[in-house]
Amino acid sequence: MTKQYILFFSILLTLAQSLKAQNPDKQDSSYIASKLKEIKSPFPEIKDIEIIQQLQLWDVNTFQNAGNTPNQNRNDLYIRRGRLGVKGKLRKDLSFYVVFAYDGIGRDKYTAGNGIPNDGDNHDFYLWDAMWTWSPKPMLNLTAGYFRPQVGRENISSAFNVISLEKSLPNFQPRTHIIGRNTGRETGLNLGGFHRGMGWSFNYNVGVFDMTSTSIVGTGSRWFPMITSRAAFTIGDPEMDKYKLSYVQSYYGQRKGITIAANASYQGETEIFKQNNFYGVDLLANYGHWDFVAEYDWLYRNSFIIPSESTKKTTDKVYSFKAGYNFIQKSGRIIQTTIMYSGQIAYDFGAKPFINSFTGATDQQVYDAGINYLINKDKLKLNLHYVWGKKKDKTTAPDFSYLATGFQYTF
């Protein structure tokens, strides 16, 4: 038995010496460094980081300014929209998007064109979007941060990807109605997904947002989150290859498909109202060279009549219809002709006609006819549009009209 133990330990000793001769010293720093390089971090380096820069420069010749401002005829060159930011990926399934805005730079307050003048010294540079999206599966995408609630096509479409010169009215009052600020952004969480079938596709979003605007929550003594939902069904070519939170209106003659969506939001009692809702339907149809966009929204609110605590139910309505045709040139550039009609019907409540004193909505109509010259699709384009309409709350002089030329780039 003793001889067997001696033989066994002799074999172990020989094997250990053999392994030591074949492997480097594990205390050696170069060996340790090489092994550390082999370790894969669960958070690899940022991938695909990009700088975002976008600009809309307008020159607006005002013919009529609603309200009959003295010397209303004027020409105004200003930055309608400016964006600067970054986007990228922290890992394959975790992306980020952070953008700041500088709008209304150099705008004359009497110009008929859309937009709000920046402060006198044009110093406002503010957060526009800040969001992070985890995408483990196509049907499971969780976004957190400061961004647009996913309701209403015009609201969630980028202003740099619309076929009209300016976004239509369903972009503006719905933001004021449910968010309380014209940027349309709020902090929250959104769960969404996209599924592509054979000849059809489906896209959904459900969100919850922590409301902070004083026009929505008052002093905040009564708190209630806003819940949002959107479901979109497509027949034909999909409007996206993968899930995203921003939409376009033209596919430059490359898509044959139609998308119909239903939208809703709900917020319960705050100091301002007992209940606040948004309901809407929208449509995007692209067939060859034709583009059609339509939307109709109902803005419901059950407001408190201060100080009695009794309530009043009102519903404002807002809608738009757009059409465009793409003349594709041999060079790849596109001449895009477009028309738009958009309207808003305010619930007539309060001392002033054509205005809802609870929500601030007013009766309006806007018409737009123009040409877009797409040098590199919407990444580089020129505009020439004639815009006119009525703002009926300006009872003595409701009409406005202007001719606008525009330059846009985005990269």
Same domain, residue pair 286 and 327? yes
Same domain, residue pair 167 and 307? yes
Q: How confident is the model at residue 3 (pLDDT cuts 50, 70, 90)?
A: very low
Same domain, residue pair 31 and 51? no
236-265 pLDDT, tens digit per residue, is 999 999 999 999 999 999 999 999 999 999
Q: What's the confidence (pLDDT) of residue 37? A: 53
Task: Give me the CATH number covering residue 289.
Answer: 2.40.160.10
393 and 362 in contact (C-beta within 8 Å)? yes
Same domain, residue pair 27 and 135? no
The number of residues making up the chain comes to: 411
Same domain, residue pair 144 and 201? yes
One-character DSSP codes across 127-170? EEEEEEEEEEETTEEEEEEEE--S--HHHHB-GGG-SSSS--GG
Q: What's the confidence (pLDDT) of residue 300? A: 98
Cα 394 from chain centroid? 30
pLDDT above 90 as % of the chain: 76
Q: What's the confidence (pLDDT) of residue 411? A: 87
Per DSSP, 171 falls in state: G
Query: What's the whole-model pTM score?
Result: 0.86
Per DSSP, 312 falls in state: E
CA distance 205 to 156: 12
Same domain, residue pair 24 and 154? no
272-282 pLDDT, tens digit per residue, is 999 999 999 99
Same domain, residue pair 158 and 301? yes
51-85 pLDDT, tens digit per residue, is 999 999 999 999 998 877 767 788 999 999 999 99
The stretches of 23-128 forming alpha helices (DSSP H) are: 29-38
CA distance 314 to 349: 8
Same domain, residue pair 352 and 222? yes
Residues 6+ apart with CB under 8 A from 100: 83, 84, 85, 125, 126, 127, 128
Question: What is the rounded average pLDDT for all residues in the chain?
Answer: 89
**pLDDT value at 354 more than 70:** yes
Same domain, residue pair 261 and 400? yes
Same domain, residue pair 339 and 211? yes
Range of the structural domain that residue 278 is part of: 46-410
CA distance 162 to 241: 19
2: enclosing H helix or E strand? helix 2-22
Same domain, residue pair 100 and 7? no
Average the pLDDT over each of 13-17, 146-150, 325-329 and give the range with the smallest value: 13-17
What is the domain count for the chain? 2
Q: What's the confidence (pLDDT) of residue 7? A: 46
Q: How confident is the model at residue 16 (pLDDT cuts 50, 70, 90)?
A: very low
Residue found under tokens 């477009």? 338
Other Cβ atoms within 10 Å of 182 Cβ, number: 13
**pLDDT value at 116 more than 50:** yes
Q: How confident is the model at residue 207 (pLDDT cuts 50, 70, 90)?
A: very high
Same domain, residue pair 315 and 385? yes
- Closest-CA residue to 301 (of 246, 360, 251): 360
- The better pLDDT of the pair 29, 172 is held by 172
The distance in angstroms from the start CA to the end CA of the chain is 82
Residue found under tokens 């953008």? 99
**pLDDT value at 396 more than 90:** no
**pLDDT value at 50 more than 70:** yes
CA distance 333 to 162: 17
